[in-house]
Structures are given as structure tokens and as C-alpha cells.
Amino acid sequence: MFKLRIRFIFAVLSITFIVLVSLGIVIGQLYEDFYLDNFTERLKKEAELVAFTLESNGIEESTIQTLTEKISARLDARLTIILEDGTVIGESEVDPTTMDNHYERPELTEVRLGNDGVETRYSTTVGAEMLYYAVPMLNAEGQLFGYARLGLAMTTLDVMKQKIWGIITASFAVGFFIIMIVTYRVTDQMIRPIENVTTIANELAEGNFKARASEGKQDEIGQMTRSMNVLAYNLEQITNRNQAQQERMETLIENMGSGLILINSRGDITLINRTCQHIFQENTDLWLNHLYHDVIKHKEIIKIVQTILLTEDKQRKQIHFPINLEIRHFDVYGAPVISNNGIVKGIVLVFHDITELKKLEQVRKDFVANVSHELKTPVTSIRGFSETLLDGAMEEPELREKFINIIWKESERLQGLIHDLLELSKIEQSYFKLNWQPTDLGEIVSDVFMILSEKSEKKGISLELRAEGNFELDGDPERLKQIIINLVNNGIMYTPSGGTVLIQLEETEELIELQVSDTGIGISEQELPRIFERFYRVDRARSRNSGGTGLGLAIVKHLVEAHHGKINVESKIGEGTRFIIQFKRKHEEEWYLS
């Protein structure tokens, strides 16, 4: 804005200067011409007066020189009396007899031609620039008999010119200075409000909608500042409304229970909400501005996007893919974002997690079948051996004892299955609560080690314990023992003779980590997501032969989550399996798995 002020002042002063200089030149020239004309007119009249006097009195050569000098002194001008043939008979400045013939002088030539005998030229006699005016002298018969010529030095005219130009220059300089001051003040009054408005406009452009300009006079500039203030107020209100709406929209998008992904027409992910992090178990913020097929690893989702791009129609599909250790199911809605011109500008995908619904549905379908299947073997065995005993086998002591032992084992297995079902059902109920209390996890692990040492020795498995440090935490000691017994029991069950089962505890300031490792048969990568399902067995034959019910790991997972813990599994076929559980030392109301 400073440049605008300078440009405006410079433009006004430049125009003013040009106008004043041009006007000064014109006026000075007019004054100069006016003075020269008056000067010439005066010289003409005086020359005519001299000619008239000489014509009236006649010319006597004896007295003409004296008369010439007197008239020259009275008129304060050079006077020359010249005869018709150019002979000088009277001269006020020098002896006329010493002068050349003047017949060819320009002023005399002009008189003979009938023009005004005016001539300006340098005079060697006087040694200065002279203005001459010559008039003819006529006798009584009207015939030309001579010339009277007056001459004035131009120095007088030059002095007058200098005075004229000096007065004009001084007047115009004072006028220019006054105009400059007035221009600056007027410019300041005009530009300052514009500067204020510009500052406010810059503030508005930077997002400061609370900026206001001071309202001045009731003129056009004052109206402009008031209009700017109204504009700022309106922008502030609109921005506040838009910001509130945007915040509500962002809160809705970020906290909605469904995952949301927006993909533009180029295939770049432009928006993804927080729920997608829980769905994909990744830092999905890194997906922004990347091609969807470069960051999304699941082919089902990529196929849905490609189908929408090709058909430009809505899509709804139920898909499933593994997330960490479980298979999760999603109801995916996909729709193209179409502009008013009918051009596809992007795709929106919404993910509804229906894993729990699928689980419930699957539980409803499989529960009867699984329970029936699990109960069928012990019930069939008990019934079959009972019928055999009733048919006469009880009369033989060896068969009777053998069949009764089998019936006892099958009933014990049946009781264990029923107990695990009731236990799992109890844990899954909403009213299930842990008995929170300060607990030493190291002591619980030592107790489990002592309990299962004999079992591992019988099978020829080395059971090892590594636990050094402080392992106090808030938890339910009975449920923690149940977790450890299940995991160690599984390790012993699936580890062949000569193998090792290792129980290891590690601590940090906030966490306690429990690891149960074995060198058993291992679990394939495809089976890992399903090992926490009810009745799922990695090796069904071995599980049944060893009395397994297929519910142990499901119970373990629920109890770990009830303690707000994290459970993870690492395994390779033929190398063994390691369960890793992390517990918080302090009980908190909310601690979500990340």
C-alpha cells in the first residue's frame, strides 16, 4: 500500500509539474512577446515622432548632429539620421563621418519594401545586441529624402525577461509546493482508509475473521470500511457455522462404529476414519494419498472397488479376512460418488463389522452339532460297555474291571466337557466379574509348575520355569491359575516325549509378560486365526485321546480379555508354539486392545 501512496502522489505531482511548467512557458512567452511588442511599438512611435520633428523643422547638416544627440539623450536610445542614399548625417553614439554607408542595412531595406523597418542584430559600433526601428522621412512633396532610425540595446529587454521568468518560476514553485502539501494530505486521507481495509482483507485471507476496520467519515470510503466490517462479520458467522458443522461431521466420521474409506477417481485414498484402524489393525493414517491397491492387502476389498469403477453401480457384499488371530466378517457397502455431470469422482466404502453376528449365527448352527458330537463318544462308550456288562461280561472279573474303568474314564471326560461348557458360558455372561485383588503372578506360576511337573515327567517332557523379579499385579488369582494351567497343559499335550515346555515371566514398569513355549507339533499359519474357537482342535485325534474338550483356549482368551490383557501366538509346524500374554500391573476400568 506504501507503493500505491507513492505512485498516486508521484502521478499527481508529475501531472501538476508538467502542467505548471507548460503553463509557465506559455505565460512567460506571452509576457515576453507582449513586452517585446510594447517595446517595439514604443520604439516605433518614438521613431515616427523623431521623423515628424525632423520633417517639420527640416534638416540642416550643421545642426543635425547636435539635434541627434539631444533627441537621443531625451529618448535614452541610439538615434541615427540617414539620407536616402544611405549616408549617415547624424549619429548619437559615434562620429557620423566615420560610419559606413547604411543603404543596405536590413531595416532600411524593409522600409523601402513597404514593411516595418524592424531588425534585431548585433552592432559592432555599440558592441551589443540592438533592436532597430527605422521610419522614412518625407519632404513636403511626399518624397523620401531620408530615414530616422532608433535603436535600443537588448540588455534592457533581457533584464526584463529575467524578471518575468523569475517571477513566474517563483510563483509556480510556491504553487507547486502548496499543491504538493495538499496532495500529500488528501492522499493520506484517501489512502489510509484503503490501507486499513487492505490490512483487514489480509487478516480475513489468513483466517482472522475477528478483524475490523475503523469506520471514518460518512463518505464513499467510510461506506467501504463499513461494508468490509459487515463482510468480516458475515464471514466469521459463516466460518463458525461451517467449522461447527465440519467438527460435527469429523466427530461423526471418526467415532462411527463402521469403517469409512473414500477413494478418488485416480484411486487415491483421500479419507479414512479411526474405526478402520481397529478393523485392519494397522496405522491406516499412512494410507492417505496412496493408491488403494498398494495399501489394502485384502483382495476381496480390491475386487469390490474395481467392480464399482467398472460398472459405476452400488455394491454390497459380505467378506471375511484374517485379522491377527481371528477371522473377521464384514458387510461392505460400496457406492460411486457421481457429479452433476454424471462423471464418477470417487468411491465410498463402508465396513460394518458383523463378526459377532456371524459368531452367534455359527454358534447357533454348530453348538448342538458340536455338543452332540462331543457327547456322543463318551455316551456311546458308557452305553456300549454297560450293555456288554449286562449281557454277562460282569461275571468275568477281568472284563468287568476293564469295562468299569473305561466307563469311569468316559464319565470323567463327560464331566470335564460339561464343566468346561458351563465355565465358558459363565465367563461369557454379562454379569461375570473377576475377583480383583493384589496378586503375585510368580507364586501362581510356581504353583502351576509344581502341579504339572509330575504329568510332564510321566510323558518324558522337560518342564522349565524362568521367573526373576517382581510380578505383583491386580487380578483374580484363581482365573490366572486357570489360564496358566490350560496353556501349560496344552503344551504338555501337544509336545512329544523328549521335548520341552518353558514358562517364562518378564516385567516392565507397567506390564508383566507371560510366555508359555513348547517344542511340540506346532500350528499352521492357516489354523492360527481359529485356535480360540470353541471345539476347534489342531489335532483332533490326539485331543480326544488325551481327554481334550476343545474349549480350553476359548476359556483362556475370554479370561485374558477379562483381565484387560493381550494374547498373541507364534508357531511353526514341527518347531513348536509360543503363547505370549501381557497383563497390566494396575487394574483400569477401560483398556482396549490395540
| CATH code of 33's domain | 3.30.450.20
Question: Does 418 share its domain with 438?
Answer: no
Whether residues 368 and 349 fall in one domain: no
User: For the ranges 244-248, 348-352, 471-475, which has the lowest average pLDDT?
Assistant: 244-248
Entry pTM: 0.41
The predicted model gives 454-471 an average pLDDT of 88
In a shared domain, residues 28 and 110: yes
Let me know whether 387 and 472 are in one domain.
Answer: no
Residue 332 pLDDT class (50, 70, 90 cuts): very high
Where residue 344 falls among pLDDT bands split at 50, 70, 90? confident
pLDDT for position 1:
46
Q: CA separation (Å) from 320 to 215, 287, 354? A: 66, 21, 10
Domain check: are 473 and 567 in the same one?
Answer: yes
Is the predicted pLDDT of residue 455 greater than 90, yes or no?
Answer: no
Residue 281 and residue 418 in one domain: no
d(CA 564, CA 444): 18
Least confident of 217-231, 307-321, 460-474: 217-231
Among residues 353, 386, 401, which one ends one of the domains? 353
For residue 452, count CB atoms less than 10 angstroms from its CB and return exposed for 0-12, middle for 13-18, buried for 19 or more: buried
Domain end among 353, 370, 389? 353
Question: For residues 241 and 234, is the Cβ–Cβ distance under 8 A?
Answer: no
Residue bearing the bigger pLDDT, 226 or 259: 259
Whether residue 79 sits in one domain with residue 18:
yes
- Residue at which a domain ends, from 103, 128, 161: 161
Question: Residue 146, SS3?
Answer: strand
- Cβ neighbours of 124 (radius 10 Å): 7
Residue 467 lies in a domain: yes
Is residue 423 in some structural domain?
yes
Tell me what the pLDDT averaged over the chain comes to.
81
Specify the CATH number for the domain of residue 543: 3.30.565.10
Question: Is residue 577 domain-resident?
Answer: yes
Percentages helix, strand, coil for the chain (3-state, rounded to 5) are 55, 20, 25
**Together in a domain, 384 and 457:** no
CATH number of the domain to which 402 belongs = 1.10.287.130
> According to the model, what pLDDT value does residue 432 have?
67
Structural domain total, the chain: 4
515 vs 85, 325, 341, 505, 506, CA distance in Å? 147, 17, 60, 6, 8
On whether both 293 and 413 belong to a single domain, the answer is no
Domain that holds residue 551: 433-584
CA 284 vs. chain centroid, Å, equals: 21
Give residue 500's pLDDT band: very low, low, confident or very high (50, 70, 90).
Answer: very high
* Cα(447)–Cα(66) distance, integer angstroms: 161
Q: What is the 3-state secondary structure (H, E, C) of 334-352?
A: EEEEECCCCCEEEEEEEEE
Residue 343 sits in the same domain as residue 407 = no
Phi and psi at residue 471, in whole multiples of 5°? -120, 35
Pick from 59-68, 189-198, 228-237, 310-319: least confident: 189-198
Q: Is the pLDDT of residue 580 over 90?
A: yes
Q: Per-residue confidence at 514, pLDDT binned at 50, 70, 90?
A: very high
pLDDT the model gives residue 541: 47
The Cβ of residue 513 has, within 10 Å, a number of other Cβ atoms equal to 16
Higher pLDDT, 381 or 571: 571
3-state secondary structure of 296: coil
Residue 34 lies in a domain: yes
Going by pLDDT thresholds of 50, 70 and 90, the confidence category of residue 397 is confident
